[in-house]
Amino acid sequence: HMEDLKFHIVRHVPVINPNRIWYGDEIEIDLLSDAVKARFNELAALLPNPQIAKIYSSPYARAHITAAGFLEAARPTIKPEIIIEPGFQEQQYGLMTNQPHELIKDMPHVVAYMSDMWATAPEKGESLGMFYKRISGAFEKAIKETGNGTRDIIIFCHGGVQMASASMVTGIRMDELMKERRTRKELDFSYMSVLTVTYKRESREWSKSLTTNPGIHL
């Protein structure tokens, strides 16, 4: 019997974004507030032992800094490797990146993207459909690279990646799932929340059930 593989998908620490920009990798983050420090300790208690789990991170600073903060709080005897996986980075917003939404919302490519996020990409960026395809590919790759001895994978990443993961296991298209965010508790992807999904190795399919441990509400 092959053991199931559990993925614990962790959103990064809070970002500081007063101007409501569509941000890429560069954004100020909160590492010092009491809520964040307390949450690192909660994650250390909540997540599997990093010495027996495999750890992936998005290449974005806010994700791998969150991974490092977790390891510091968990204090493993041997520091495990954090595998940087570009496939798990946040959706690419192209020319919208670092622009305040208010300033660009009437630009034709932004209007087109906002009216059909699934099929239309912002200029030089990714549509939700493209993003979803990349994320499910990154999961396939992680499953392939993980031996049967490993039962837990922790991924430090982004709210969009959590939403794509939820879409992948439920079979509900990402843009449809986003509409259900307000009414479904398990779609509470607050900062430092943990979404847990299960891949059944025997049948090579995802379990449809998902659980979310909510993070910090600002």
User: What is the rounded CA–CA span in Å between residue 21 and residue 79?
Assistant: 35
Using one digit for the tens of pLDDT, what is the confidence trace for 98-144? 999 999 999 999 999 999 999 999 999 999 999 999 999 999 999 99
Unique residue bearing structure tokens 């030089």: 124
Residue 182 pLDDT: 84
Using 50, 70 and 90 to split pLDDT, how confident is the model at 12? very high
Is a pLDDT exceeding 90 seen at residue 2? no
Residue 192 has pLDDT above 90, yes or no: yes
Residues near 211 by beta carbon (within 8 Å), at least 6 away in sequence:
186, 195, 196
Average pLDDT for 64-75: 97
CB atoms within 10 A of CB 116: 12
Give pTM, 2 decimals.
Answer: 0.97
Kindly indicate the confidence band of residue 194, based on its pLDDT and cuts at 50, 70 and 90.
very high
DSSP state of 117: T
Q: Give the model's pLDDT for residue 166.
A: 97
Q: What is the pLDDT of residues 135-189, one digit of tens each?
A: 999 999 999 999 999 999 999 999 999 999 999 999 999 999 999 988 888 999 9
Angle at 132 between CA 50 and CA 2, to 5 degrees: 45
- What pLDDT shows up at residue 6? 98
Confidence band of 218 (pLDDT split at 50, 70, 90): confident
pLDDT of 52 > 80? The answer is yes
The rounded distance, in Å, linking the Cα atoms of 55 and 8 is 10
* pLDDT of 91: 98
The candidate with the shortest Cα–Cα distance to 48, out of 10, 2, 3, 83, is 10
Cα dist from 165 to 143, 156, 206, whole Å: 14, 13, 10
pLDDT at 203: 96
Distance between CA atoms of residues 166 and 160, nearest Å: 10
The H-or-E segment that residue 108 falls in is: helix 108-115
Which contiguous run of DSSP H or E holds residue 194? strand 194-200
The reported pLDDT for the residue numbered 38 is 97
> In 10 A of CB 165, how many CB atoms?
26
| Lookup: tokens for 155 | 């991924």
Question: Per residue in 24-47, pLDDT tens?
Answer: 999 999 999 999 999 999 999 999
* Cα-to-chain-centroid distance, residue 202: 25
Q: Is the pLDDT of residue 1 over 80?
A: no
Q: Which among 88, 75, 72, 82 is positioned nearest to 36, based on CA atoms?
A: 72
